[in-house]
Amino acid sequence: MKRVFSGMQPTGDLHLGNYIGALKRFIPLQEEAECFFCVVDLHALTVPRDPEELRSKTLELAGLYLAAGLDPERSALFVQSHNPAHSEGAWLLQCITRMGELGRMTQFKDKGKGSDSATAGLFSYPVLMAADILLYQADLVPVGEDQKQHLELTRDLADRFNRIYGEVFKIPEPQIGETGARIMALDNPEKKMSKSADSSLNSIQLLDDPDLILKKFKRAVTDSENRIRYDRENKPGISNLLDIHSVMTGESVDSLVERYRDKGYGHLKIDTAEAVIQELKPLQERFRDVMESGEVQRVLARGAERAREVAGETLSRMQQAMGLVSK
Ligand code: AMP
Ligand code: TRP
């Protein structure tokens, strides 16, 4: 059986980009693979956080995984810091990672902005991510397009380790969706939808109520051509709406273009909002139930146990291969 690993940071609120690029795609994978889904709280610490907020967002994200359809009977859901193998494995991998490789990571360049005060944690963030994945011998890693470069580094490190110390790691494959791997901001379709945006019109949050979702879509920035066609380069706003609509309803972009050709942007915006509202409604209801049921902590404890079992085995093999004396 194949293994799947993916993670999301418990920072800010989950938005439609996280849902379409990652979370929604995790759910069907449970049918065909053994899945490990992680709330990567250690990654969240790479930029300053309010401790209380980090704690509550960690539980909230676990609740959202469950509300989206993660089945704790089949998949392991856990918090990264509950499995110390991630930090230990990351240290061992840092010792074969080159400064130059990390300096080339675009996410570091964006977030750190070349500043001397960017933290060492932010710099080595991709190595921790590599440890997350490699410790589980994952075959597949479902992520949005922005993680592609981190996955390439993960593969390079696995291959380098195997060459220096002997075969320990499986080389993982990224799994990036065909549609919706990069959902753009509603208020600026030249930029990706992002948790760290200044304006609330940037993103649809998964817990937004229907009125707010409709309002945000109505205000979505488009272009002045007033013709519906799919062209991500010249018509990023309309193409983004078509992508979102297509993923929500399962109707192909081509068929949507055909159907909306003569209808004007207003119709497309309202119908896309409606499709999103319909998709998120059951998730929001389940989220409330899950958070009230108190089941999150129990699920996380069980997930961490399974995670420690699997990752611990790989960590021992790494330690052994690198010449550490066994306990
Ligand atoms: P993060 O919130 O950075 O932990 O991201 C969690 C997951 O959502 C990762 O797999 C990202 O690649 C994905 N993701 C984040 N933003 C977007 C976006 N705008 N479009 C599609 N996927 C995204
Ligand atoms: N870096 C990812 C992001 O920002 C989150 C992440 C951490 C992750 N570890 C991972 C994703 C392992 C996939 C697999 O979105």
User: pLDDT tens, 57-106?
Assistant: 999 999 999 999 999 999 999 999 999 999 999 999 999 999 999 999 99
Q: What is the mean pLDDT of residues 103-132?
A: 91
Q: Whose CA is nearest to atom 6 of ligand 2?
A: 7
Crossing angle (nearest 10°) for helices 265-293 and 51-68: 110
Q: Whose CA is nearest to atom 11 of ligand 2?
A: 7
Q: How far is the CA of 266 from the centre of ligand 2 (A)?
A: 36
**Domains of the chain with CATH codes:** 2-181+294-322 (3.40.50.620), 184-287 (1.10.240.10)
Q: Which two tokens stand for residue 28?
A: 């069907």
Q: List 38's β-bridge partners, or say none.
A: 7, 78
Report pLDDT for 87. Answer: 98
* Rounded-to-integer distance, Cα 247 and Cα 270, Å: 16
Which of the ligands is closest to the CA of residue 132?
2
Check the annotation: does 32 bind a ligand: no
Q: How far is the CA of 7 from the centre of ligand 2 (A)?
A: 5
Residue 114 has pLDDT above 80, yes or no: no
Ligand 1 pocket, mutate which of 16, 18, 154 (most atoms under 8 A from CB): 18
Report pLDDT for 109. Answer: 86
Residue 111 has pLDDT above 90, yes or no: no
Neighbour count for residue 200 (Cβ, 10 Å) = 12
- pLDDT > 70: what percent of the chain? 100
Report pLDDT for 244. Answer: 98
Check the annotation: does 192 bind a ligand: yes
Q: How far is the CA of 220 from the centre of ligand 2 (A)?
A: 28
* Rounded-to-integer distance, Cα 74 and Cα 27, Å: 11
Check the annotation: does 323 bind a ligand: no
At 327, the pLDDT band (50, 70, 90 cuts) reads: confident
State phi, psi for 273 to the nearest 5 degrees: -55, -45
* Long-range pairs for 207-210: beta carbons < 8 A, 24 or more residues apart: 207/13, 207/284, 207/287, 208/280, 210/277, 210/281
Q: Which atom of ligand 2 is nearest to the CA of 129?
A: 9
Q: How confident is the model over 153-212, as pLDDT tens digits?
A: 999 999 999 999 999 999 999 999 999 999 999 999 999 999 988 888 999 999 999 999
Q: Whose CA is nearest to atom 12 of ligand 1?
A: 144
Tokens 């994945």 sit on residue: 133
Which of the ligands is closest to the CA of residue 5?
2
Q: Which atom of ligand 1 is nearest to the CA of 145?
A: 12
Q: 0.85 cut: is pTM over it?
A: yes
Of the candidates 78, 41, 83, 76, the residue with the CA atom closest to the CA atom of residue 58: 41
Inter-CA distances, 256 with 162, 180, 237, 268, 323, Å: 47, 15, 15, 9, 59
- pLDDT > 90: what percent of the chain? 91
Q: What is the mean pLDDT of residues 250-254?
A: 97
Q: How far is the CA of 310 from the centre of ligand 1 (A)?
A: 26
Residues lining ligand 1, Cβ inside 6 A: 8-9, 17-18, 20-22, 143-144, 146-147, 181-183, 192-193, 195
Task: Tell me which amino acid residue 106 is.
Answer: T
Q: Whose CA is nearest to atom 5 of ligand 1?
A: 8
